[in-house]
Amino acid sequence: MRKLVRPRSVELDGTRRRLAACHDVSDLRRVALRRTPKPVFDYVDGAADEELAAAGNVAAFRQWRFLPRVLADVEVVDTSVTVLGSAIPVPLALGPCGYTRMMHTDGEIGVARSGARHGLPYTLSTMAATGIEEVAGAMTGRPDLWFQLYILKDRSRAAGLVSRAADNGYRVLVVTVDTMVAGNRIRDVRNGLTMPPELSLHTIASVAAKPGYWLRLLSGPALDFANFAGRPATTILKSADFFDPGITWSDIEDLRSAWKGKLIIKGPLGPADARRAVELGADGIQLSNHGGRQLDRAVAPVDLIAPVREAVGPSVTLLVDSGIRHGADVVVALALGADAGVLGRAYLYGLMAGGEAGVDRALDLLTAQLRTTMRLLGVTSAADLRKRGRELITRGD
């Protein structure tokens, strides 16, 4: 019997055991659901109104089918790409997510460290629960930090954030332009999500249900919008008061002259808006509908890649987010003309499932999926995928 069956060693560390049993992003999502209070999980998992855009984003990636080439010697595969002048080992970046320290106390720093360990850029949100200086100060080596800006009603405060990002070595400024008003996130409204959590019957029930989460939270520093120190505490629902419905292209012009580094515009830009962004000096576009959290029924960003690439030409950096849950999604994105995919929920599920190690797990799984998909497709480099991509995919419907 011993010759036939080798007993597997038992992993004593609970987090490592749980993560090792996750084999794709939906496994991580399932563990996250089990380990996180419902209002927090819903804040991540939920989207605006009827959540049609959020579901549509995931479905749109999956509508594509591969047309593989065989006998192409795929022993060696080069997945690296250059994004805004920096080489990264896989075409992935970690996108900005507000309040990340609420998902798990490892928070923004844990995500940034995991990204850096994988050689990938991390984007800190304006609405982060860890400050610009704190994240930069916690990193070792040469991390590729990007900063995401919401153009606030208070323009001098926004300008302050931009210069703090520059002073602290953030290389890229990502300006989000789809949040002129808050999206109507029904799950948050129903759950009465407030920050910091208020002692309601709801909260008490979720404390009882997820004691591990609460113990961790209570042993760390209080949650707040760390980049707005000195401002009265607010709720996630009310934080939308920061945003300005009056933003225009002249704000982009102002930012272009203020920010010396690389500039990306993030939002659901069609060909005309993308061209305008580039004319005003943007170095890149991040096609996004905010994961369906803003305008419900907004077009899936993956469907904008080909027309926007056509409009802006081959050299403008084109990133895409919203709906990436598998390495094959990134292969589709590159085949259609994107330079890299940006992650949101995919890494947050990992974070909720197991902290920083869970983000590592998400990145490792996505990378392995990407490599295997490229090899089975008969492609040996990300550059080749970008070049020949349109011959390698077809619409499945």
Q: Between residues 168 and 381, which has the closer beta carbon with respect to ligand FMN?
A: 168
Query: How far apart, in whole angstroms, are the C-alpha atoms of residue 57 and residue 325?
Result: 10
Q: Between residues 41 and 379, which has the closer beta carbon with respect to ligand FMN?
A: 41
Q: How far is the CB of 336 from ligand FMN (least distance, A)?
A: 16
Query: CB 367: neighbour CB atoms within 10 A?
Result: 18
Q: Between residues 373 and 380, which has the closer beta carbon with respect to ligand FMN?
A: 373
H/E element holding 209? Answer: helix 201-209
290 catalytic, yes or no? yes
Per-residue exposure over 26-48, b if at least 16 CB sit within 10 Å of its own CB, e if not: ebbbebbbebbbbbbbbbbbbbb
Q: How far is the CB of 103 from ligand FMN (least distance, A)?
A: 7
Q: Between residues 29 and 309, which has the closer beta carbon with respect to ligand FMN?
A: 29
State CA 64 to chain mean position distance. 22
Helix, strand, coil in percent for the chain, rounding step 5: 50, 15, 40
Task: Yes or no: say if 300 and 57 are a contact pair by the CB < 8 Å rule.
Answer: yes
Query: How far apart, in whole angstroms, are the C-alpha atoms of residue 255 and residue 276?
Result: 15
Task: List residues near ligand FMN by CB under 6 A.
Answer: 43-44, 57, 95-98, 125, 127, 148, 176, 266, 288, 290-291, 293, 321-324, 344-346, 348
Nearest to 97, CA basis, from 129, 61, 74: 129
Q: How far is the CB of 270 from ligand FMN (least distance, A)?
A: 17
Query: How far apart, in whole angstroms, are the C-alpha atoms of residue 237 and residue 235?
Result: 5
Query: CB 84: neighbour CB atoms within 10 A?
Result: 21
Tokens 């849950």 belong to residue: 325
Find the catalytic residue in 23, 104, 202, 290: 290
Query: How far apart, in whole angstroms, are the C-alpha atoms of residue 20 and residue 9?
Result: 13
Residue showing the smallest CB distance to ligand FMN in the complex: 344
Q: Between residues 298 and 392, which has the closer beta carbon with respect to ligand FMN?
A: 298
Question: Which tokens sit at 371?
Answer: 């490599």
Q: Between residues 210 and 266, which has the closer beta carbon with respect to ligand FMN?
A: 266
Dihedral of the CA atoms 31, 301, 83, 105 (nearest 10)? Answer: -30
**Terminal-residue alpha carbon distance, the chain:** 50
Q: Between residues 46 and 354, which has the closer beta carbon with respect to ligand FMN?
A: 46
- At how many degrees (to 10) do helices 201-209 and 38-45 cross? 90
CA dist list (Å): 210 to 40, 108, 266: 11, 21, 35
Q: How far is the CB of 3 from ligand FMN (least distance, A)?
A: 47
Q: How far is the CB of 38 from ligand FMN (least distance, A)?
A: 14
Q: How far is the CB of 100 from ligand FMN (least distance, A)?
A: 8
Query: CB 184: neighbour CB atoms within 10 A?
Result: 15
Q: How far is the CB of 14 from ligand FMN (least distance, A)?
A: 25
Q: How far is the CB of 294 from ligand FMN (least distance, A)?
A: 9
Q: Between residues 352 and 379, which has the closer beta carbon with respect to ligand FMN?
A: 352
Tokens 């004691």 belong to residue: 211
Tokens 């869970």 belong to residue: 358
- 108, amino acid identity: E
Helix (H, G, I), strand (E, B) or coil at 114: helix
Residues catalogued as catalytic: 290
